[in-house]
């Protein structure tokens, strides 16, 4: 049985990529470290068959250097506010997918009084995908005519700002409400990380903490540990395969092989 309509399949073709797909259940990721290394090799239909749900990793590039970002409105006026006949119906409101060249920071969406009405999901976040079944039974369903634009598209952050403002949708830093906190959209700036070398003592300390965490897990027998990456995930063939082929694991594996060669000299 097809779990997606022809229109939904066409709409999702741009987003059905291994670096965007994420297995989730009740809005919770089924893999540890999903925002660092994960790549999903199952199709959307396969993910829906397995868990009745999947998600899409936002803030990630799709095609032609456009980033995938989602407007998530939860207020009762969402459909009127967005002024758009193409949207994804959720349990409480709507999702509107957009593509943008300049990546914004994730933030809260508020009305003119500064009251929260939703979120703008960007880097490091995810949204439940079309065709998924909410735990309350609601299906995330694509709405609108087939000839409507598949996705909103912007070049500049100022264009998205204008789109939101004329709809009386304003933005505040994540976690803040109130008129006094309304700010313009900000560009996402990645944190510059200073790479720290892991000593043998630090490795065994982190390994012990990870094993202690797993031992307290109610389904620990269903979990698999990668000691190279010091992460755990479900003991399922596809998930293990995805981790082993991921950039993080491949890099750690090469580093490990280099160290072993140096020891052998």
DSSP 25-65: ETTEESBTTTTTT----S-HHHHHHHHS--EEE-SEE-STT
pLDDT of residue 75: 84
CB 102 within 8 A of CB 47: no
Bridge pairing between strands 152-154 and 94-100:
parallel
Per-residue pLDDT of the chain (265 residues; tens, 9 = 90+): 789 999 999 999 999 999 999 999 999 999 888 887 788 999 999 999 999 999 999 999 998 999 999 999 998 889 888 888 789 999 889 999 999 999 999 999 999 999 999 999 999 999 999 999 998 899 999 998 766 666 799 999 999 999 999 999 999 999 999 999 999 999 999 876 555 556 667 888 888 888 888 888 888 888 888 888 888 888 888 788 888 888 888 888 888 888 877 777 6
Residue 203 CB neighbours (<10 A): 12
Bridge pairing between strands 55-57 and 60-61:
unpaired
CB 99 within 8 A of CB 15: no
Residue 82 CB neighbours (<10 A): 21
Coil vs helix vs strand at 138: coil
For CATH 3.30.2250, the residue range(s) in the chain are 6-181
Residue with tokens 């899409």: 56
H/E run at residue 71: strand 67-73
Architecture of domain 6-181: 2-Layer Sandwich (3.30)
Give 23's Cβ-side CA count (13 Å radius): 24
Q: Report pTM.
A: 0.75
Q: How far is CA 115 from the centre of its chain?
A: 25
């Amino acid at each position: 049985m097809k779990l997606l309509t022809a229109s939904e399949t066409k709409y999702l073709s741009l987003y059905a990529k291994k670096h965007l797909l994420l297995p989730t259940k009740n809005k919770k990721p089924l893999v540890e470290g999903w925002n660092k290394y994960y790549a999903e090799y199952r199709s959307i239909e396969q993910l829906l068959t397995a868990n009745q749900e999947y998600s899409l990793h936002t803030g990630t590039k799709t095609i032609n250097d456009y980033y995938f970002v989602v407007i998530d409105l939860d207020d009762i006026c969402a459909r009127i506010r967005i002024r758009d006949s193409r949207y994804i119906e959720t349990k409480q409101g709507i999702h509107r997918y957009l593509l943008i060249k300049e990546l914004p920071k994730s933030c809260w969406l508020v009305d003119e009084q500064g009251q929260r009405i939703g979120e703008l999901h960007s880097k490091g976040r995810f949204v439940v995908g079309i065709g998924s079944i909410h735990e309350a039974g609601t299906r995330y369903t694509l709405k609108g005519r087939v000839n409507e634009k598949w996705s909103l598209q912007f070049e500049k952050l100022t264009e998205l700002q204008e789109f939101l403002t004329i709809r009386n949708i304003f933005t505040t830093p994540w976690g803040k409400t109130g008129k006094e906190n309304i700010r313009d959209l900000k560009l996402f700036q990645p944190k510059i990380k200073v790479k720290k070398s892991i000593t043998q003592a630090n490795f065994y300390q982190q390994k012990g903490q990870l094993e202690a965490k797993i031992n307290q897990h109610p389904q620990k027998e269903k979990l698999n540990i990668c000691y190279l990456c010091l992460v755990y995930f479900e003991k399922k063939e596809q998930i293990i395969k995805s981790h082993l082929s991921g950039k993080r694991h491949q890099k750690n594996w090469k580093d490990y092989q280099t160290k072993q060669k140096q020891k052998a000299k």
